[in-house]
C-alpha cells in the first residue's frame, strides 16, 4: 500500500505518503509485538507465496520483543523522515520513497519468519532495500558509491555464510521449518559449523569486528532517517538470529561457541569505542558507537551462553535479559542521536564536529533531546544505558565461581572491557555534545543554523520519551522480558520487584527512579540553601569571559573535537596507529624562518587496512589473470571445455 502511495502521488506529497505508510507499518508491528510478548502466539503458513516450500511466519515472545523494538524505531524514523524531507532538504525521487516502507516491512518480517526459506528471503529483501536506500545520494557524493560497494560485498558475503549454514542445518535436520530444525539431532561438529557460519553472517550484519568495516562507511552516508533505521533497527536482527539459532534452535550448544561470541563482542566493543572516541565526523562517531554497543550485546549473549553451558541458568537469564534490554536501550538512544545528527546536518550542512558548536542557542530543543540520547549512550545514571550495563555487570561479577578456571579468567576481563568501554563512551559523548552543540560556532554553517521543524522534533521527543521510560522504570521491561528469557533458558524470570530492580539469587538491587528522585531532591535542596544563605547578595550579572588580559577569546581558540580527543588518541597510540603529517615550508632567505606549517592527522581503520586491503589486492590480481585466460582464441575455449569434461569424467570414475 505504501509502495503504491509512493509511486502514485506527486513528488510534493510523496514523502508524506510513504512516511505515513511506513509509520503505519511500524505501529502495526508494535501491536503485533506487544500482543506476542504478552502471550498471544500465532503462526501462519502461506503456501502460494514461495514456490516449493511456502512461506511460514510465527510470532513467539522472542520475536515479539524484537518486533516491539524494531517497530518503534521504524515508526519514529518514518515520522522524522517526513519532516526531514520538507523544504526540499531530501531527495523526492520515487525509488527512495518506494523503498522506505518496503525496508521497514522487511525489518519486521525477519523476526517472524519461521522457516529457512522465508527467513532467507526476508533477510535478502532487507539487505537489498537497505543497500538501495544507502546509495540514495550517490549522485551528490562519490563516498556514497564506495560505501555502497563495501556494504554490498559484506552483506552478500554474510548472506552466503547464512545460506551455507542453514543449508547444512536443514539438510541434516531433514526439513526446513524451524520446528523441524528444533527437533534435529546433529553431530557436535556439524552443529558447531552451523553456529560458526551463522555467527559470521550475523556478525557482518551487526558490525562485529573484524566484519565491521562497512558499517562506519555505510551508515553515515545514508540519508539521516535511514541511518537511524540501519543503526538502531537493522543491526539488531543479527543479534536476533544468533539468539534464535543458538539458544532456541540449537538449544544452547557448546561452551566454546559462546566464549568465541563473548570474545568477538568484547573486541568489537573496545575497538568500536576507541575509534568513536577519536572520530570527528558526528555520524561516523555514532556508527562506531553502534559497533561498540553491538559488541556489548554480543558480549552479554556470549556470557549467557557460557553461563548456561556451565550450569548457572539463573545468571544466564540475567545476562541474556541484560543483552536484550541493552538492545532496546541502544535502539532508543541511537534513534535519538542519529535523528539529532540528521537535524544538525540539515541545519548546518556539516557533520564535522570541528566546524560545529553554538547550536545550544540556535537549536535549543534539538540540543536538549540530543543530550538525553548522549546521557543514555554514555551509560551514566540516570540515563537508560546505565540500567542494562548494570545488569550485564551483575551477571559477569557473580558468574565466576560457577564455571571453573575459564570463567574465572574470562569474567574479570569482560568486566574490565565493559568498564573501559563505558569510560570511553563518556569521552565520546561529552565530546559529541560539548564540542558539537555547546560554546560558540566554529564554522559559518553552524553560525547560520536554525531550529528543525516541529514534526522532526516530535519524532525525536517520542524517542526521548522512550529512553526516559527505559531509564526510569526498567522493571516494566524486566517483566516483559521475563517470558522471553524463560522460553529460551528454561528458568523462571530472573528479575523482579516494583520500582526496584531486584535479581533472584543475587543480593544486588538498583532503583533508577530513586536515584533520579534523589538527584532532583539534591538539586532542589541546594537551590534552597543557596537562596537562604546568600539572601542579601547582589543579583547575578553578565561579564565577559576571562581573557587573561589578552583581548576577547575568538571562536578559533576553543577546543575542537580533535584536540579534545588528543589525550585519548595518545594513550591508545599503539592501537589506533594514527597517521600524522607535518609539512614545513621555510622562507627562501633562511630555513629557520617558517613560511607555512601544515599539519594533517588521520586515524585510519587499522583492521580494514591490514585485513581487507590485502584481500582486495589479491582480488585485483586475480582479475588481471582473466584477460590472459580468455584471450579470444576459440581453440583455447574448446580446450577448456574438453579438459573440464575429462576431469569431470575422471572424478566420477574414481568416485563410483
Partner 1 sequence: VTAATLATVVQVLTVIGVAPLLTGLMRQTRARMEGRAGAGIGQPWRDLRKLVRRPAVTPVGTGWPFRLAPLALTATSLVIAAVIPLITTRSPLDHGADLFAVVGLLAFGTVTLALAALDTGTAFGGMGSSRAITVLALVEPSILVAVFALSARVGSTNLAAIVTTTLQHPLRVMSPASLLAAAALVVVIVAECGRLPVDNPSTHLELTMIHEAMTLEYSGADLALVELSAMMRLTVLLGLLASLFAPWGIATAGLAGLPLAVPVLLSKLALLGGGLAAIEVLLAKLRLFRVPELLAGSFVLALLAVTSSYFLA
Does position 434 interact with partner 1 (CB under 8 A)? The reply is: yes
In whole angstroms, the minimum distance from the beta carbon of 536 to partner 1 comes to: 8
In whole angstroms, the minimum distance from the beta carbon of 610 to partner 1 comes to: 25
What distances in angstroms separate CA 333 from CA 330, 370, 510, one per listed residue?
Answer: 5, 9, 21
Closer to partner 1 at the Cβ: 544 or 655? 544
Which residues are bridge partners to 600 per DSSP? 581
Phi/psi-derived region of residue 112, left when phi > 0, alpha when psi is between -120 and 50, beta in every other case: alpha
Q: Alpha-carbon distance 429 to 220, whole Å?
A: 17
Q: Which three cell numbers stand for residue 23?
A: 509509520
Judged by CB under 8 A, the residue of 143, 171, 419, 594 near partner 1 is 419
Binding region for partner 1 (CB under 8 A) out of 9-17, 164-172, 206-214, 357-365: 357-365
Closer to partner 1 at the Cβ: 520 or 650? 520
Q: Vertex 305, ends 300 and 307: CA angle to 5°?
A: 90
Of 222-281, binders to partner 1 (CB under 8 A) are: 277
Q: Give the 3-state secondary structure of residue 631.
A: coil
In whole angstroms, the minimum distance from the beta carbon of 516 to partner 1 comes to: 10
Would you tell me how many other CB atoms lie within 10 Å of the CB of residue 84?
Answer: 28
In whole angstroms, the minimum distance from the beta carbon of 656 to partner 1 comes to: 59
Cα–Cα nearest to 214, from 148, 277, 306, 168: 148
Closer to partner 1 at the Cβ: 303 or 378? 378
Q: Alpha-carbon distance 579 to 556, whole Å?
A: 24
Q: In the 3-class helix/strand/coil scheme, how is 187-241 assigned residue by residue? A: CHHHHHHHHHHHHHHHHHHHCCCCCCCCHHHHHHHCCHHHHHHHHHHHCHHHHHH
Of 50-69, binders to partner 1 (CB under 8 A) are: none
Q: Give the 3-state secondary structure of residue 579.
A: strand
In whole angstroms, the minimum distance from the beta carbon of 562 to partner 1 comes to: 10
In whole angstroms, the minimum distance from the beta carbon of 60 to partner 1 comes to: 33
Q: Where are the alpha helices (DSSP H) in 608-633?
A: 613-629
Does position 650 interact with partner 1 (CB under 8 A)? The reply is: no
In whole angstroms, the minimum distance from the beta carbon of 463 to partner 1 comes to: 21
Q: Alpha-carbon distance 130 to 317, whole Å?
A: 33
Q: In the 3-class helix/strand/coil scheme, how is 70-108 assigned residue by residue? A: HHHHHHHHHHHHHHHHHHHCCCCCHHHHHHHHHHHHHHH
Q: Alpha-carbon distance 88 to 97, whole Å?
A: 14
In whole angstroms, the minimum distance from the beta carbon of 433 to partner 1 comes to: 7
Judged by CB under 8 A, the residue of 86, 423, 443, 496 near partner 1 is 423
Cα–Cα nearest to 600, from 564, 562, 555: 562
Does position 314 interact with partner 1 (CB under 8 A)? The reply is: no
The DSSP secondary-structure symbol of 48 reads: T
Q: How many residues does the chain have?
A: 656
Judged by CB under 8 A, the residue of 262, 564, 576, 605 near partner 1 is 564
Cα–Cα nearest to 266, from 116, 415, 368: 415
Judged by CB under 8 A, the residue of 72, 510, 576, 603 near partner 1 is 510
Closer to partner 1 at the Cβ: 498 or 618? 498
Closer to partner 1 at the Cβ: 50 or 397? 397
Does position 620 interact with partner 1 (CB under 8 A)? The reply is: no
Does position 163 interact with partner 1 (CB under 8 A)? The reply is: no
Does 313 sit behind a cis peptide bond, omega within 30 degrees of 0 on the bond before it?
A: no
Closer to partner 1 at the Cβ: 185 or 539? 539
Judged by CB under 8 A, the residue of 49, 420, 468, 469 near partner 1 is 420
Binding mask 567-606 for partner 1 (x = CB under 8 A): xx-xx-----------------------------------
Closer to partner 1 at the Cβ: 10 or 534? 534
Does position 476 interact with partner 1 (CB under 8 A)? The reply is: no
In whole angstroms, the minimum distance from the beta carbon of 446 to partner 1 comes to: 12
Does 382 sit behind a cis peptide bond, omega within 30 degrees of 0 on the bond before it?
A: yes
Size of the site for partner 1 (CB under 8 A): 84
Closer to partner 1 at the Cβ: 198 or 399? 399
In whole angstroms, the minimum distance from the beta carbon of 492 to partner 1 comes to: 19
What distances in angstroms separate CA 312 from CA 345, 355, 634, one per listed residue?
Answer: 48, 51, 67
Does position 616 interact with partner 1 (CB under 8 A)? The reply is: no
In whole angstroms, the minimum distance from the beta carbon of 548 to partner 1 comes to: 9
Q: Which three cell numbers stand for residue 125?
A: 529483501
In whole angstroms, the minimum distance from the beta carbon of 157 to partner 1 comes to: 34
Judged by CB under 8 A, the residue of 1, 171, 476, 523 near partner 1 is 523
Q: Which residues of 336-371 are buried (b: 16+ CB within 10 A; e: fewer)?
A: bbbbbbbbbbbbbebbbbbbbbbbbebbeebbbbbb
Does position 508 interact with partner 1 (CB under 8 A)? The reply is: yes
Cβ neighbours for 71, distance < 8 A, ≥ 6 positions apart? 25, 26, 27, 28, 29, 30, 32, 33, 108
Judged by CB under 8 A, the residue of 17, 69, 418, 449 near partner 1 is 418
Q: Alpha-carbon distance 391 to 367, whole Å?
A: 29
Of 358-417, binders to partner 1 (CB under 8 A) are: 360-361, 378-382, 386, 390, 393-394, 396-398, 400-401, 408-409, 412-413, 415-416
Of 531-560, binders to partner 1 (CB under 8 A) are: 533-534, 537-546, 553, 555, 557-559
Cα–Cα nearest to 341, from 214, 224, 478: 224
In whole angstroms, the minimum distance from the beta carbon of 559 to partner 1 comes to: 2
Quote the strand ranges of 122-200, DSSP E: none
In whole angstroms, the minimum distance from the beta carbon of 382 to partner 1 comes to: 8
Amino acid at each position: 500500500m505504501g509502495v503504491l502511495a509512493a509511486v502514485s502521488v506527486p513528488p510534493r506529497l510523496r514523502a508524506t505518503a510513504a512516511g505515513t505508510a511506513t509509520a503505519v507499518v511500524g505501529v502495526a508491528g508494535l501491536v503485533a509485538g506487544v500482543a506476542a510478548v504478552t502471550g498471544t502466539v500465532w503462526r501462519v503458513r502461506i503456501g502460494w507465496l514461495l514456490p516449493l516450500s511456502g512461506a511460514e511466519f510465527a510470532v513467539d515472545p522472542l520475536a515479539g520483543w524484537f518486533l516491539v523494538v524494531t517497530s518503534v524505531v521504524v515508526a519514529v524514523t518514518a515520522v522524522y523522515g517526513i519532516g526531514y524531507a520538507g523544504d526540499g532538504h531530501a531527495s523526492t525521487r520515487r525509488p527512495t520513497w518506494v523503498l522506505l516502507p518496503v525496508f521497514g516491512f522487511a525489518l519486521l518480517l525477519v523476526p517472524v519468519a519461521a522457516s529457512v526459506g522465508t527467513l532467507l528471503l526476508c533477510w535478502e529483501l532487507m539487505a537489498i532495500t537497505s543497500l538501495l536506500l544507502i546509495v540514495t545520494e550517490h549522485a551528490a557524493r562519490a563516498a556514497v558509491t564506495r560505501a555502497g560497494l563495501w556494504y554490498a560485498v559484506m552483506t552478500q558475503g554474510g548472506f552466503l555464510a547464512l545460506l551455507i549454514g542453514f543449508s547444512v542445518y536443514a539438510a541434516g535436520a531433514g526439513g526446513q521449518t524451524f520446528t523441524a530444525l528444533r527437533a534435529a539431532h546433529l553431530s557436535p561438529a556439524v552443529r558447531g559449523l552451523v553456529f560458526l557460519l551463522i555467527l559470521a553472517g550475523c556478525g557482518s550484519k551487526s558490525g562485529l569486528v573484524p566484519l565491521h568495516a562497512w558499517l562506519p562507511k555505510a551508515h553515515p552516508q545514508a540519508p539521516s532517517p535511514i541511518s537511524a533505521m540501519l543503526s538502531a533497527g537493522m543491526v539488531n536482527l543479527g543479534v536476533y538470529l544468533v539468539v534464535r539459532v543458538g539458544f532456541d534452535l540449537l538449544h544452547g550448544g557448546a561452551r566454546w561457541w559462546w566464549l568465541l561470541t563473548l570474545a568477538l563482542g568484547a573486541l568489537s566493543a573496545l575497538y568500536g569505542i576507541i575509534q568513536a572516541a577519536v572520530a570527528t565526523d558526528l555520524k561516523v562517531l555514532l556508527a562506531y558507537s553502534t559497533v561498540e554497543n553491538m559488541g556489548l550485546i554480543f558480549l552479554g549473549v556470549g556470557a549467557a551462553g557460557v553461563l548456561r553451558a556451565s550450569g548457572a541458568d539463573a545468571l544466564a537469564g540475567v545476562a541474556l535479559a541484560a543483552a536484550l534490554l541493552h538492545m532496546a536501550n541502544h535502539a532508543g538512544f541511537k534513534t535519538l542521536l542519529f535523528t539529532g545528527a540528521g537535524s544538525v546536518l540539515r541545519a548546518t550542512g556539516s557533520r564535522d564536529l570541528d566546524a560545529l558548536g553554538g547550536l545550544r542557542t540556535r537549536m535549543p530543543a534539538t540540543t536538549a533531546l540530543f543530550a538525553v540520547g548522549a546521557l543514555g549512550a554514555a551509560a551514566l545514571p540516570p540515563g537508560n544505558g546505565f540500567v542494562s550495563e548494570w545488569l550485564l555487570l551483575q551477571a559477569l561479577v557473580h558468574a565466576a565461581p560457577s564455571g571453573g578456571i575459564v570463567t574465572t579468567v574470562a569474567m574479570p576481563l569482560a568486566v574490565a572491557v565493559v568498564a573501559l568501554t563505558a569510560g570511553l563512551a563518556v569521552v565520546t559523548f561529552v565530546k559529541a555534545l560539548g564540542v558539537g552543540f555547546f560554546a560558540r560556532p566554529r564554522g559559518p554553517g553552524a553560525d547560520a543554523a536554525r531550529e528543525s521543524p516541529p514534526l522532526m522534533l516530535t519524532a525525536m521527543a517520542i524517542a526521548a520519551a522512550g529512553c526516559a521510560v527505559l531509564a526510569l522504570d526498567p522493571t516494566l521491561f524486566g517483566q516483559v522480558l521475563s517470558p522471553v528469557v524463560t522460553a529460551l533458558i528454561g528458568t523462571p524470570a530472573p528479575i523482579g520487584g516494583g520500582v526496584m530492580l531486584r535479581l533472584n539469587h543475587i543480593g544486588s538491587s538498583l532503583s533508577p527512579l530513586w536515584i533520579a528522585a534523589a538527584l532532583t531532591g539534591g538539586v532542589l535542596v541546594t537551590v534552597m540553601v543557596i537562596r537562604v544563605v546568600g539572601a542579601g547578595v547582589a543579583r547575578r550579572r553578565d561579564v565577559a569571559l576571562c581573557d587573561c588580559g589578552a583581548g576577547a577569546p575568538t571562536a578559533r581558540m576553543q577546543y575542537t573535537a580533535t584536540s579534545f580527543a588528543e589525550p585519548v588518541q595518545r594513550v591508545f597510540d599503539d592501537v589506533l596507529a594514527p597517521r600524522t603529517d607535518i609539512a614545513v615550508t621555510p622562507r627562501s632567505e633562511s630555513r629557520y624562518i617558517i613560511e607555512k606549517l601544515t599539519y594533517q592527522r588521520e586515524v585510519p581503520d587499522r583492521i580494514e587496512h591490514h585485513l581487507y586491503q590485502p584481500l582486495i589486492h589479491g582480488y585485483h590480481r586475480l582479475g588481471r589473470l582473466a584477460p590472459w585466460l580468455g584471450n579470444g582464441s576459440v581453440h583455447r575455449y574448446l580446450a577448456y571445455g574438453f579438459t573440464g569434461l575429462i576431469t569431470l569424467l575422471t572424478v566420477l570414475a574414481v568416485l563410483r
